Amino acid sequence: MRSTYLFTSESVSEGHPDKVSDQVSDAIVDLMLAKDPEARIACETMTTTQRVVLAGEIRCKPMYDQQSWPENGGWAPGARDEIEQAVRHTIREIGYEQDGFHWETLEFENHLHGQSTEIAQGVDAGEEGSNKDEGAGDQGIMFGFACDETPDLMPATLDYSHKILERMAADRKSGAAPFLEPDSKSQVTLRFENGKPVACTAIVVSTQHAKGYHTGEKEAELKAYVKDAVAKVIPAELLSDQTVYHINPTGAFEIGGPDGDAGLTGRKIIVDTYGGAAPHGGGAFSGKDPTKVDRSAAYITRYLAKNIVAAGLAKRCTIQLAYAIGVSEPLSLYVDTHGTGTVDDAAIEKAIMSIETLRGLTPRGIREHLGLNKPIYKKSAAYGHFGRKVEGDSFPWEKTDLVDALKAAV
């Protein structure tokens, strides 16, 4: 790595149209996993002015079964209403009560349908006594990453970008900043020397606001608030009079959210992961049950990378896994500690595969080790899937309970 360089990451708030879509999709995942821990969900959401549309495939007998309710299109009595209520509740929690997007009056369409039997036969485990284990829900490559730039073992530029917007959302909802509206974006640029952040050179924050907060004293109030929010997140030693601020650089930002731009599930994958500091396999997370390795394998690779760094085996770690649809065993495992490792990377790979509870990193092994068949996903759909605090069953991939096992195995 270069010894001195600038690096930038961005984040978007829970009110960004793509993030609204992600949260709605994960609300559906949570709803169905609460009904059936073995449910299969692939839910896509589109949001635009006063409209939310769902599409995708599901398998959840308590809610949808063609044989049980053929006269109702396969839907259990009341299931469609439950889905609509979950969607409207999610949008209400975000805070959308605007003419162009209102949780109560928007038009809703549900185009979810049954899972393809051809996909199901490849993914499902065999009958009892069969040697067929549960297969991966799709082919693909997944990456996990951790580094020692922050206490959360996340890239500093992304960590600060997320936390600025989290702070602003909390102030909006508490009434401390009543002029803020749900849609916002942030961007943080840091200068690094010898791999460590030493100065914040630029901050960009664009936030939707109440009418009139783009001129005069109201604009000054908004900008002063944003600078104060930034100062509460970014360490003081990184900020100086040399830090350049761009706050609502285009001027007025009154029309936002899905009314300002359409949103789709899965369009913010770099925001969701490592802010560009690490590779991304390409698959999105939200709207997918944990048999989809796009999601579960990305979580286990983050978990492994974080535990490797927490164990002092490296200062920086990238892990890749690859799968084929319907096949349980991963095709490959790759560990790269970027020259910071205290042991050989191949030894770490061998150590990972030797840990019995991981069951060879099969989809079932991942789900059981992390406890992923639970309604824990909507919380992850805004402000990043990684670098979060473990809350009950939520964010189990952020635990560092594998440190001792890794140390022993190497």
| Residue 241 sits in the same domain as residue 308 | no
- Does the annotation mark 173 as catalytic? no
Would you say 132 is a known binding-site residue?
A: no
Residues 23 and 377: their CA atoms lie apart, in Å, by: 9
In a domain, 133, yes or no: no
| Residue 163 sits in the same domain as residue 117 | no
At residue 288, what are phi and psi to the nearest 5 degrees?
Answer: -120, 135
Would you say 288 is a known binding-site residue?
A: yes
| Residue 190 sits in the same domain as residue 317 | no
Residues 77 and 299: their CA atoms lie apart, in Å, by: 35
Q: Which of 223, 255, 287 is the last residue of a domain?
A: 255
| Residue 316 sits in the same domain as residue 231 | no
| Residue 289 sits in the same domain as residue 385 | yes
| Residue 251 sits in the same domain as residue 292 | no
Give me the pLDDT at residue 122, please. 62
Q: What is the CATH number of the domain that holds 72?
A: 3.30.300.10
What is the value of pTM for the model shown? 0.95
Task: Yes or no: say if 60 and 75 are a contact pair by the CB < 8 Å rule.
Answer: no
- Which member of 88, 167, 185, 367 is catalytic? 185
Give the residue from 163, 183, 161 showing the smallest Cα distance to 172: 183
What are the helix and strand counts (H, E) for the chain? 11, 13
Q: Where are the alpha helices (DSSP H) in 249-402?
A: 257-260, 269-272, 293-310, 345-354, 363-370
Q: Which of 197, 231, 255 is the last residue of a domain?
A: 255
Would you say 138 is a known binding-site residue?
A: no
Q: Which of 224, 255, 286 is the last residue of a domain?
A: 255
Would you say 44 is a known binding-site residue?
A: yes
Question: What's the first-to-final CA gap in the chain, in angstroms?
Answer: 26
| Residue 402 sits in the same domain as residue 275 | yes
| Residue 99 sits in the same domain as residue 235 | no
Q: Which domain covers residue 211, as residue numbers?
A: 4-12+156-255
In a domain, 261, yes or no: no
- Does the annotation mark 374 as catalytic? no
Task: Yes or no: say if 62 and 35 are a contact pair by the CB < 8 Å rule.
Answer: yes
In a domain, 281, yes or no: yes
Q: Which regions of the chain are under pLDDT 50?
A: 130-131
- Does the annotation mark 253 as catalytic? yes
Task: Please compute Rg for the chain using Cα positions.
Answer: 22
Identify residue 251 by its one-letter amino acid code: G
Tally of domains in the chain: 3
Give me the pLDDT at residue 130, please. 47
Q: Per residue in 372-400, pLDDT tens?
A: 999 999 999 999 999 999 999 999 999 99
Cα-based distances in Å from 171 to 161, 228, 233, 385: 16, 12, 13, 22
Give me the pLDDT at residue 138, please. 82
| Residue 272 sits in the same domain as residue 238 | no
| Residue 161 sits in the same domain as residue 24 | no
In a domain, 128, yes or no: no
| Residue 281 sits in the same domain as residue 144 | yes
Note the Cα 312 to chain centre separation in Å: 26
Would you say 163 is a known binding-site residue?
A: no
- Which member of 88, 163, 172, 268 is catalytic? 268
Give me the pLDDT at residue 1, please. 67
- Which member of 101, 145, 192, 253 is catalytic? 253
Q: Per residue in 58-83, pLDDT tens?
A: 999 999 998 999 999 999 999 999 99
Task: Yes or no: say if 90 and 287 are a contact pair by the CB < 8 Å rule.
Answer: no
Give me the pLDDT at residue 229, please. 98
- Which tokens is 386 given? 């990684």
| Residue 216 sits in the same domain as residue 274 | no
